[in-house]
Each structure stands twice: as structure tokens, then as C-alpha cells.
Structure 1
């Protein structure tokens, strides 16, 4: 379990007004597990009579709003979104007052924050407040002073409220039990040194609050003429490296369910699917609403990773609000067993739709692709990846709405970050729909889902895969150049050439060469730009290798027949 000891103190010193501000969040256990523990410090610029408002707004806003961000977001994204909003408000206040003509009189402050999450420490910083790691004989400065030297004087190069655009430094490193961090404003750190800090910590070994007060007093005694603020944070304990941020505490594995059985407030109607790893049943709640319950089997008892997938699916579904992503039941009472409950959708899978529509019209396919794209975008806005996009995981309901289902393989950056790595590196989905970068070890991104969507579009139109079964055989960068794309018009010569170019781009093995957003790909399917409409001068052998060699074979065959005929007539 993550546990910190914290001490903090601030004094105005020789000034009448204290323009520094500081604070530590007091999150709930669930918030600490999903978002971490945050502390922040800010220093208002002395040339402004309103900068204390800026520093207080920056710290309070960060410590309150950070915990209101999506649990699926990484610390970096959540913190930067909160700070960008704060910066916008401060800049707007400056524009309404004296700061409009003189930045030194506006709502401006410097800012530093540490967020302890999982087994990592995150630093967010802008300005010249400082963050140190305390060593036995030294203070290691972790933040960079954003100061500019000009004409013999130094000025703040970056700060909150100084510009409508904000650039925040972010760094992250592994945490260790026993580490102590020092955050301070310039009125304090300019008068402190490593020896004094170590002596003070030694004198107040078990009382960081007393240590912070002593350091502020020492800075003032040593001649500080500015406000002085010091924060100390020591890591007392860290969560187990293998602990999942998803809560499965106390949940038992469920029994095998049979029709008419009552289970956790549901009544089982019938079994939908049974595998060695899970059982899926149709059930109704007390209001008569239909739900699909997915339950792990006893075989997963010793597999925490697979059990986490069950918890992930419902966790994700509850946090994404889109008509194109399956919805989960709200947990109205504490459960006794581990299972997921999601809406039961009357309709057919995309796999069955493709069987029923072997040569669909382009407009039909574009409509389906657009809806899939909207569902994926809803996930991506939450820093989530579906990671198992395939025909069986898409349902078209009776109204024609396309819905993403089976979120068990979803990657949630904010949850993965708590376990030490926010990157989606693991192969999680069906191989033939997975982007090549997963096989090379580079991991996934929204552009990987764009690739998977393009595979589906290609397959809907042709019944085939654009690279056959080549992609799962990729093991390194060199293999990417060996992939041979089969042109769309090899299967469907009735489709326009520009469509083949749109799909070819979306299916490039290298992500930077694809369209750079799902919306761009969907737009290209409807309204191709000049790059797709221009006449293709690529040799036929490269554009349509299969057609080229077939044609060449026919030509050779005809030539052979002609030669044989001439030889016979000559005899």
C-alpha cells in the first residue's frame, strides 16, 4: 500500500503578504489507488499585487480537479489538462486587469507538483519553484528553472498565467521506500544547503512537519527577504508491484449457472456460451431488463491476469459513454462473486453480417466503418485501446447501430501506469487483425486501431485479408518491408481505384505513414483528397502483382500457341 509522511510550512518572512501557496491532497483509498497522492507548491511573482490569488488557485485547483479527471488517464495527461485549464483562467484574469499591458502585474505564479502513483513518482513543473531528492550528502535538483538571462538580468521564461499557451515539464521515475523529497520556493531554497537539510532531518527524524518548520525558520535567519515555503515528503511504503489497481478483494469465483437460477440479483434465462475459461448466460434483473453475464470458470483461479480481464471489461464499460460501446450494469449492491454484467444486444455480429453480405455496396461498408470509428474514438478520448477489434466483437443491433463489445482486452493507460508501465505492449487481440507494431515490440496506439479498422473494411469488401496471414509472422523492422499488400481491386475490380489507395495508406506497416487520426481515415473513405484521386503511375507489377503475373502468364500462353501454330503450318 502506498503511504507517505509529509511536512509543510510557509511564512511571509519580512513581507506583509505571503504569495506562496502549498498543499497535499487527502484522497480516498480508491482515489489513491487510481490517481495516486499529489502535493503541490506555487510561488506568486512579487511584482504583482494579485499573484497570491494565482498561486492559491493553482494549488487548490490542481489538488481538487486532478481527482476529478478520468481514472483511465495517465498522470501526465490528467495533470496537464488540469494545469492548462488553470492557466487559461489565470491568463483571462490578467487580460481583464493590469496584467493585460504588463505581465509582471498579472495573475502569474510558478508551480511544481509531485504525484506518487503505484510504484512511480511523477513531477509536473513550470517556473522556478524547485523539487529536490534528498541524498546523504547532496540535494539532487529534479526540476529545471525556467529562467531567461537577458542584459544581465534574469526573467521567468515560463509560468502559469503568463501566456495563453502552457508548456509543462513532466518526468517520471521509479520510487523507493525511504526516499525523501523537498519542494521549496526561492525564498527558502536559496538559503538552504544539503548539510542543513540533512542535519534538520536528523534532528526531526520522525516529524517531517517539525523539520519543514525548522527549515523555513533557518532560511529566514540566514537572510531570506522573500516568502519561504518548504514541503517534505517521505515514502514509507509502496504497493506490491503485482497489485492490480482493479479491486477484486473478497470476490469469490462464481458457480456454474443454470436456467432459472437466482444469482446476485439476476435470474438466469439460458446459457449463451460455454468455454473452458468462461460461461456467458442471458439473465434478467428485478426490473425485467436483459443482461449478458460473463463468469470466469474455476480454471482461472490461479491466473490473476485473466481474472483482471473480467474486472477490466466492466470497469471500462462503465466509464465510456457512447452508443457504439457496450454498456455495463451499475453495481447497486456489493457483489460476492467476480463476474461482469453488460447489456444484452439483440442483433448479429459483423462476422455473420459478412456471411450474409459477401459483396456489399461501398456505402454500406462506409456506414459501418464510421460507427466503429466513433466507438473507438470514445475509448481513445479516455486513453483506452480496445485491442481486440474483430468481426466477432462487433454487433449490429436491430436498428442498425454498430456496437463494440468484449472489452476484456482493453488497455487502460491510467491503470497500467499504476503497475509500472502505461504503454500497450502486450499482444492481446486476434493476430490477423493486430497491427504490425505489436509484433515488433513497439506496442500499440490509436493508429494501431486505425490499422485494425482498415483490415475490417478491406475484409467486409472482399472477404479476404489485405496481407493474408503475413502480419503475425513479423518479428522485426526488417520483416515490415517484406509484407506484400494485396490490392483491393484484385478481389473487387468494380470498386474505385482511389478506395484502394485510401486503404493502402491506412494499412501501411509503419504507423507514421498511415492517416494520423481515425477521423481522417473515415473522411477519406467518404471524400478522398487529391492524393488519392490523382492518376496512379506506379508500374502494374507493383500495384497489382497478382494481376501482372496472371496477365504475363496469359501472354506467354498465347505466344506459345501462336508459335506452335506457325510451326505446324510451316511443316
Structure 2
């Protein structure tokens, strides 16, 4: 019988005066199924240069950061996409942090080997070393990126060394019994290939003991040659069992789950009874369902039945689920884990009893400016939560958010959401143009220009403008643009004309967030949100007048009492 999953063993060994003083870091993470099947297992090693005062912090950060972020990437991303995006984001963070420290840096060499199915994927930059022992053959898998400066060898590539990143990527077929060795440049000049093979094969059943033998032998050889032997580390990973041979057909990517058939009220699927059909579009179906076992009401979203073979949309559908699962905000709907195994492709969300923002505005025409701004701030926090996960919503509008019975806003629709490229490129907006533009869509979508977080800022500002005025900021809405020359027709209409309660400062903030030119809007969403929150903390003009009137009456009363006391003092003389 073929094995269903990959089985891996590993061991580690250090030589250092104190573990906390080591400038290298390493780790192996083998998750449980089904994450092991989706993302595989991972072994990482990092090492910083000798003269870096922050070497330990840099090494630990690169290893922990990579493992945490890699296993949090969407399940439908392949290994190369996931690892390179994580390394690119980690590189940008390390490089920016290094600019803010006076001594040392967050620069380190990194080698990461990911084992998935019957393949290994090596990502490497710098001078860390990865070898493979297959039978009696001992071969270096990584390539040294080093340069000589003043007699010292420094990495010519490394994590955090530059704002851009160049990663060596190698895909290796696995065989049962393969052993991979991870170590650092410090071992150069101590052990020969024959030494590695002998010391590992001496007792390969105990990989921790094999690493200790390597470390002790390297230390002894180094001391014999008259140089320091106190910074050695070794990590061994052995492939014990491989999963069965399988082709990468699309069904595997999506867990071999079929798309649900068309459902109507009263019908059941996987123990869920359809209470109401909430939405039917060309791409998806949304149902309000009840779990027949727990009687809990939830919302089920599934791909449209006629899109069974359109795997590009299925990939986007799974990305929607990933967004709901990873974004943690009280203003973004939460995913619900099914209590039973799924037999069809769908995901469940908590049921929000409420109405759309458009319906709420229609039912509450007398709502104050403060009440409307409170709702706008909740929507802004929801969009911010997506941006923190590098997700663009792309379709913020009054019809895509709900107000529950307690007046809290919840963002529930992710039909056009997109994960931003971490290497600086921006999505073209093609997905949104397929789904359909709205009057709140930023102009760059209609014109086919690059988009980003400020595009969501525009849609959010447009929705806020509509919420407090009942109108649109431009006579010609962006969804009607036909070319760049039409941008001249976008003349901002002051919100104060439709709602005199809007202060000049708030109007100016709306005007800037709604600028047709993306680069002229607020640089960060937080700046715009701050401008919206300022009116919430200011007393209204009437309150100021009442406070001044009360103060005047108080001091008039004090003055009257003092005058009376003065007159009495004269009469009693």
C-alpha cells in the first residue's frame, strides 16, 4: 500500500560558548495534515556575518519570520509563489529596519528547503550551505554568493542586504533515504566530503547524535589548524517515506471537492438546509443555511455550478476563503469551520442579521452627521484590516456592507478582492472589470491604470461622501470614464453644499481622498481615518455656545454675590 503522506526525521547540533551568542539560527517545521499536504514541510538555516552586532537577532528573525509567514500563505499558491513572496516581504522589512539602527543590521544569509509531495524546493541567498547525501554521493545543492573584501569573505547576496532581492531557486526530485545537511561557512576548511559521509553514516538512525559528531569533529579540526572553532551548527533532515506518485490535476489543488449543484429553499447539502437564496451571480451562489445538527444559522458561499471547469475562478474563490480566514477584525465577517467533513466546495461564514448600508440610509434619513461618521469609521477599519493582510477589496460600496441590529458595520463581500504583489507590482484590476465597476469605483480601474491601496481609499471616501450627503462627489461617475481626457470632467462638488454640517476641514479631507489622480490622495488610509475621527471628538458649535453661556451666567452670579458682600461690609461698619 502506498504511503499517503511525507514522513521526515531531523536532528540538530551546535558548538558555541553560549547558545544565545550564536550568530546562526536553524529550524525544521513539519505540520500536521492537511497543511502538510498543501504546504509541505520546511527546513531553514540562516547565518549573519561575524562583525554584525545584531547577528543573533537577524538570524532568528529570518527563520521565525519565514516559517510563520510561509505556512500562512493561501493553500492554493504553489511552493515557489508562496516562498518567494514571503522572502520578498521579509527582505523589505529587514532592509527598512536596518536603515533605522546605528550599529549592526538585519542582514543574514538564508537557505530554505521545502519538502512537498515527492519534490524538494530550495530557496537560497548568501553563503549558508546545503548538501545532499544520497547513498555514498555527497553533493552541495546551494551556490555560494560571496565576495572578497580586504581578505574577508562577505555574502554578495543576503536577506535584507538591499531593497530588491535575488533568490536562487532549485527544484529537486526526492528519493526515500535522502539526507540533507544544513550548515554555515564557518565549517569551510575543517571537514572533507568523506568526513561528512563517514560521520553521518556511522549511525544515521540518530540524527541528533550525527550532528553532534559533525560539530565536535569540526571543532577539533579547527583548533588543530589554529583558528576559532566555536561557531559551528549542523542540521540534518532525512526523507523516511514518500507519498504515492500523483499528477497535479486541478482537482487535487482544490481537494478533489466537486462544486455544489444549484440549491433552492428547503434543499439540503452536507447536513445544511437552505433557508434562503441570498444571491445568484455568474460566478457564485450565496445561501443562508441552517445546520440540521446544531440548528445554527450560517451563510454558505459556493462557486456557480456552470463554472466547474473554469479553474481560474476556482483559484480566486479559494483566495476569498483565505481572506475571510486570515483577516481578524470585528468589522469583517468571520469564517465558520464545518463540524463535519465537506463533500462539496464551499465555505461558511457567520450569519449577520442586518441590512445593507444603502437600506440603512434609506430607513434613517434623520441620522446625524456624527452617527454617519461613526459608521464610516467602522468601514474604514474593515478596509484597513484587509490592507494589513496585503489584500485589496476593490469593491467598497454601500451595497457590499451590512449594518447589524446593534448598529455595527460588517464587511461581508469579497467577490473582487485581490492579494497585492509584495514585489511592488500592482494588479491591473481586470478581475473587477469582469465583476463590474460601480459609481464608487476609483477612476484608475475604468482607465486600466495600475491600482493599489489608494484605490480602495477612493471607494471608501466615495461611500463616505454618499453616506453624509446622499449624493456623489462628481457629476460624471468614474465608471462612465472612457479615456484619460474624461478626468478633466471630474470636478469635485463640495460636500458642504449638500450638508452644511460638514466642516471645511472634513470637506478638504474628502476632496483629497477623492482626487482623480491616485498619487495625490492620502498616502496612508490612517491619515484619512484620522481626518474623519476629528469631528467625532469636537463639540458642536451649539454645545460651545451653551457652554459659554453657562460659564457667563456662573461668573455673573459670583460677581453679584461679591458685590452684595461688599455692600453689607460697608453697612455694618
Q: What is the CA distance between 1:260 and its match in structure 2?
A: 2.8
Which residue does the alignment assign to 1:469? 477
Q: What is the CA distance between 1:373 and its match in structure 2?
A: 0.9
Q: Against the structure 1 CA distance between its residues 426 and 5, is the aligned structure 2 distance closer, same or farther, given a 3 Å change threshold?
A: farther
2:299 is the alignment partner of 1:299: no
Give 1:340's match in structure 2, choosing from 328, 343, 347: 347
2:264, 2:354 → 1: CA distance? 24
Give 1:288's match in structure 2, choosing from 285, 288, 295: 295
Deviations 1:144-174 (A, max 9, x none): 77x997xx989999999xxxxx878762558
Which residue does the alignment assign to 1:186? 185
Which residue does the alignment assign to 2:431? 428
Q: Against the structure 1 CA distance between its residues 276 and 7, is the aligned structure 2 distance closer, same or farther, given a 3 Å change threshold?
A: closer
Question: Is 2:476–2:489's contact at 8 Å kept on the other side of the alignment?
Answer: no
Which residue does the alignment assign to 1:171? 165
Structure 2, unmatched stretches of 5+, are 76-81, 133-138, 175-179, 198-203, 536-573
Q: Against the structure 1 CA distance between its residues 340 and 63, is the aligned structure 2 distance closer, same or farther, given a 3 Å change threshold?
A: closer
Structural mapping, 1:294-373, within 5 Å: 294-356=301-363, 361-373=368-380
C-alpha RMSD of matched pairs (Å): 6.0
1:116, 1:405 → 2: CA distance? 35
Q: Which moved more, 1:217-226 or 1:512-521?
A: 217-226
1:28, 1:438 → 2: CA distance? 41
Structural mapping, 1:489-508, within 5 Å: 489=495, 492=498, 494=500, 495-508=502-515
Aligned residues: 479
Deviations 1:349-386 (A, max 9, x none): 11223444568643233112101011112222222222
Which residue does the alignment assign to 1:75? 86
2:412 is the alignment partner of 1:412: no
1:471, 1:344 → 2: CA distance? 31
Question: Is 1:69–1:78's contact at 8 Å kept on the other side of the alignment?
Answer: no
1:329, 1:318 → 2: CA distance? 9
Question: Is 2:181–2:236's contact at 8 Å kept on the other side of the alignment?
Answer: yes
1:456, 1:76 → 2: CA distance? 36
Which residue does the alignment assign to 2:516? 509
Q: What is the CA distance between 1:446 and its match in structure 2?
A: 2.6
Question: Is 2:39–2:71's contact at 8 Å kept on the other side of the alignment?
Answer: no
Q: Against the structure 1 CA distance between its residues 295 and 272, is the aligned structure 2 distance closer, same or farther, given a 3 Å change threshold?
A: same
SS of 2:490's equivalent in the other structure is coil
2:155, 2:523 → 1: CA distance? 36
TM-score in terms of structure 1 length: 0.62
Q: What is the CA distance between 1:62 and its match in structure 2?
A: 5.5
1:394, 1:372 → 2: CA distance? 8
Question: Is 1:278–1:295's contact at 8 Å kept on the other side of the alignment?
Answer: yes
Which residue does the alignment assign to 1:560? none
Structural mapping, 1:89-488, within 5 Å: 111-114=109-112, 129-130=127-128, 141-142=144-145, 171=165, 175=169, 177=171, 185-188=184-187, 225=227, 226=229, 248-285=254-291, 286-356=293-363, 361-412=368-419, 423-429=426-432, 430-432=436-438, 433-438=440-445, 443-460=450-467, 461-466=469-474, 468-470=476-478, 473=481, 482=488, 484-488=490-494
2:386, 2:298 → 1: CA distance? 22
SS of 1:391's equivalent in the other structure is coil
Q: Against the structure 1 CA distance between its residues 115 and 138, is the aligned structure 2 distance closer, same or farther, given a 3 Å change threshold?
A: closer
Larger RCO, structure (CA 8 Å, separation 6 or more): 1
SS of 1:428's equivalent in the other structure is helix
1:22, 1:347 → 2: CA distance? 50
Q: Against the structure 1 CA distance between its residues 327 and 218, is the aligned structure 2 distance closer, same or farther, given a 3 Å change threshold?
A: closer
Q: Against the structure 1 CA distance between its residues 174 and 412, is the aligned structure 2 distance closer, same or farther, given a 3 Å change threshold?
A: farther
1:389, 1:240 → 2: CA distance? 40
Q: Which moved more, 1:364-373 or 1:351-360?
A: 351-360
Q: What is the CA distance between 1:449 and its match in structure 2?
A: 1.4
2:30 is the alignment partner of 1:26: yes
Structural mapping, 1:36-47, within 5 Å: 38-43=42-47
2:47, 2:141 → 1: CA distance? 24
1:63, 1:31 → 2: CA distance? 16
Deviations 1:486-530 (A, max 9, x none): 2224852624433332111112234442222222212212328xx
Deviations 1:104-158 (A, max 9, x none): 9xx9995523366999989687xx7447999x9999655x77x997xx9899999
Which residue does the alignment assign to 1:95? none
Q: Against the structure 1 CA distance between its residues 458 and 447, is the aligned structure 2 distance closer, same or farther, given a 3 Å change threshold?
A: same
Structure 1, unmatched stretches of 5+, are 92-102, 161-165, 201-206, 529-571
1:108, 1:278 → 2: CA distance? 45
1:467, 1:447 → 2: CA distance? 21
Q: What is the CA distance between 1:404 and its match in structure 2?
A: 0.6
Q: What is the CA distance between 1:272 and its match in structure 2?
A: 3.2
SS of 1:171's equivalent in the other structure is coil
2:248, 2:398 → 1: CA distance? 36
